[in-house]
Each structure stands twice: as structure tokens, then as C-alpha cells.
Amino acid sequence: MSGFPLTVGHRGRYGARPRGSSLRSWRWSDRVVYVLAWASGVMLCAVAGALVAYLAVRGVQYLSPSVLFSRPQPGLDQARTGGFLDPILGTLLITLIGVVLATPIAVASAVWVVEYGRPTWLARVVESSVEIVAGTPDIVIAIFGLALFQLGLFAPLSFTSAQGGVFGRSFLVAGAMMSLLALPSVFTAVRDGLEAIPGHQREGAFALGKTRVATIRRVLLPGVRPNIATGVTLGIGRIVGDTAIVLVLLGASLRLDPQSDVPGVGLLRGTGSTLTSYVYDNSPAGEGNAPQKAYAAAFVLLLLVLGLNSAVGAMSRRGAHAPVGRVGLGR
């Protein structure tokens, strides 16, 4: 689909090469822009390449299958021992909770806004709210989560100390706040997908006597399934990469630390770590002096994000109804 030649005049033809616009006839300022644009492009490629290459090289040094599947060990020589199975599990768990909470709410809201949306001011309020959530810094969401879940009302969701202070930090709590990160991505994707479905599909279903609800269930929702998938993947990307919420709301234990004897519930109420907090803790900013571990975990994280991005690209190529969110931020 290239409409415009990349460099003018360089096209093979019968006879002599046609003359393009020579740089000498350009304005002086245009020539500067030309040089700077090339410089920026080259610098962009260089920086991207250097970043990925450096992380790969440093990351692979510590990485091995045993590291991926073994648990962090307390030990004297922190720099050499222990894997990061727990952080990986932590990332998976928190992502799961976040997505499970966000998707139904986002889909339901998007369906309501597009298909019903009465009164109009309320629909606009809902849309603005989603935009506000999308624009809120994740650290503010984390702090809000802390304030919310330290209420006695939510004591069952986390650990309660002997003096009665609710800890307010657990996988459930962190996952709940993570769902706020994924919500805008799914909402926008589903809303755009629904809006892109032409009206005559709905009218056709109504003409056959179906109620609106049935139309939604049987006609529209299946149609936006690719959009839901893309939105969820974008949301997962945001959750996986977030550190602030994890640092504030997941407690500070390196290993998964369940809070009660009931297996599932205990885990959810307990604390742990994720890949992102593991990287932070092992860097000089945290308490760690084990940069190799940090690099290894960072590399795994990068691969994860790369995989998610490719998945989004592949999904949108297979054809969602509407253009998919462009970057992994859910905007």
C-alpha cells in the first residue's frame, strides 16, 4: 500500500532515470529537518537494538531452566542461589485475578454504553470515568487500594494482625486494583468493536423478532470476540508490566506466602512477589545486590511482553471489527 516514494526519483525505468527534487533546491530549514529526521531514525533503531541486545546478553547469563522453575532460596550467597518460580507464579496469579475481574465489568459497561446508553448524560459519565481510570497514575490507584482495603469491611481479603489492624495487602487486593488497569483496554476495544458493527445487523435481528438481549448475546458479542481478545491481551500487557501496585499492595515477601491453611483462599489472601517487584528488589534500589538475577528476571519479563505484543499483532491481523488499540497502554 505504499502510496508515496520513499526517496523521490529512484525508480527503474526505460531510458534515463527521472530526476527527482534535488536537495539543492530545498529550503535550508528543510535540509536541516531532513538530516535530523534521518539522525532520529537511526538513533531510534540504535537505541532499541542496544536495549534489547543488552538485556538479552546480561539476562541470559544467569538464566537456565532450573532458575525458571526453582524457588527463591534464602542463602548467604544471594547472588548465586535461587530461582524465580515464585515471582513468575505471582505474576500469573495477579494477572488472572485482574483479568477475571476486569473483563465482565468492561464488557458489560461497553455493551450498555453502546446498545442502551440512556440517559445520555449517564453514558457520557461512564465513558469519562473509564478515561479517567485510564489516565490515573498507577501509584495513585495503588494508594487508593490501600485506603480502601484497609477498611474493616474488607478484612477477609487480607491478613489481619493481632491488634486488629487490617493489613490491606494481598493477592486479592492487588489483583482487584490491577483490574482497574486492564479495564480501559477491554472497554475501549469492545466499545469500538460494537460501534463498528453496522446497524443493519442489529435491525435484521430485530426484524426477526429477537429481543435486544438476545441480539446482544447471539449476534453482537460473538462478533466482537476478537476485540475482547485484543483488549484483554493489551490489559494483560499493562498488568504484567506494572510495578507500583505490586510494591504497595502485595506485601513484601519474596516467596508466595499463604495466609491460612485453606489452599486456594490462603494463597489469595496471602502475599508474594511478581517478576516486576523481583526485578526492583534485586536492583540497587531494593535491598538486593544481585544484579544478575535482576537482569535475568527483566529479560524474562521482556520476552513475556514481546510475546503479548506479537499476540496482539496477530489477532488484529486476523481481523477485529475495529482498529485495535495501538500501544500496550490500553488507550
By C-beta, is 68 or 122 nearer to other proteins? 122
By C-beta, is 33 or 100 nearer to other proteins? 33
Contact 107, 130 (CB under 8 A): no
The b/e string for 286-304 (b: 16+ C-beta within 10 A; e otherwise) is bebebeebbbbbbbbbbeb
Closest CA to 115 of 232, 227, 230, 215: 215
What are 23's three cell numbers?
A: 536537495
Closest CA to 242 of 301, 317, 194: 301
Instruction: Report the alpha-carbon distance of residue 13 to residue 138 in Å, rounded.
Output: 56
Cα radius of gyration (the chain): 25
CB of 143 to other proteins, least distance (A): 5
Helix and strand numbers (H, E) in the chain are: 14, 0
By C-beta, is 35 or 262 nearer to other proteins? 35
CB of 323 to other proteins, least distance (A): 9
By C-beta, is 49 or 260 nearer to other proteins? 49
Instruction: Report the alpha-carbon distance of residue 278 to residue 309 in Å, rounded.
Output: 22
DSSP assigned state of 112: I
By C-beta, is 144 or 195 nearer to other proteins? 144
Query: Angle 118-113-200 (CA atoms, 0-180°, nearest 5)?
Result: 95
CB of 261 to other proteins, least distance (A): 28
Give me the residue label for grid cell 505484543: 309
CB of 265 to other proteins, least distance (A): 24
CB of 248 to other proteins, least distance (A): 5
CB of 200 to other proteins, least distance (A): 20
What are 79's three cell numbers?
A: 547472588
By C-beta, is 140 or 208 nearer to other proteins? 140
CB of 245 to other proteins, least distance (A): 10
Contact 275, 301 (CB under 8 A): yes
323 C-beta neighbours (distance < 10 Å), count: 11
By C-beta, is 117 or 266 nearer to other proteins? 117
